[in-house]
Amino acid sequence: GENVEQHPSTLSVQEGDSAVIKCTYSDSASNYFPWYKQELGKRPQLIIDIRSNVGEKKDQRIAVTLNKTAKHFSLHITETQPEDSAVYFCAASQANSGYALNFGKGTSLLVTP
């Protein structure tokens, strides 16, 4: 099955700096790579996703890059703000094939003012 590795487990940055979280996956059949932000006790919130036919996607301060050959994808947050502090999860799946999302272990991001 799919195995998703995520690094780092914790990340502390100063407000205004950039944050980068990296994930690798094992199953070359995976074609959907979402990133979720989760606040304590709440459901994961989709912040950005990318499919395997695209190498990069950007939405304001958030971007995701995908390298299919190396089987890794990264989340980039620029101009971080204190409200970006949360736990972030990457995931991978074969979307539209009845497969579940497989999650990385999460990164606890702390943005200090």
Partner 1 sequence: GAVVSQHPSWVICKSGTSVKIECRSLDFQATTMFWYRQFPKQSLMLMATSNEGSKATYEQGVEKDKFLINHASLTLSTLTVTSAHPEDSSFYICSASHILGGYTFGSGTRLTVV
Contact footprint for partner 1 (CB under 8 A):
32, 34, 41-44, 46, 49, 51, 89, 93, 95-96, 98, 100-106
Complex with partner 1: residue 31 or 74, whichever CB lies closer? 31
User: Could you tell me the smallest distance in angstroms from the CB atom of residue 79 to partner 1?
Assistant: 27
User: Could you tell me the smallest distance in angstroms from the CB atom of residue 104 to partner 1?
Assistant: 7
Angle ∠(20,3,101) on CA atoms, nearest 5: 80
d(CA 67, CA 44): 24
Complex with partner 1: residue 80 or 93, whichever CB lies closer? 93
User: Could you tell me the smallest distance in angstroms from the CB atom of residue 102 to partner 1?
Assistant: 7
- Exposed e or buried b per residue across 6-36, where buried means at least 16 C-beta atoms within 10 angstroms of its C-beta: beeeebebeeeeebbbbbbbebeebbbbbbb
Complex with partner 1: residue 32 or 78, whichever CB lies closer? 32
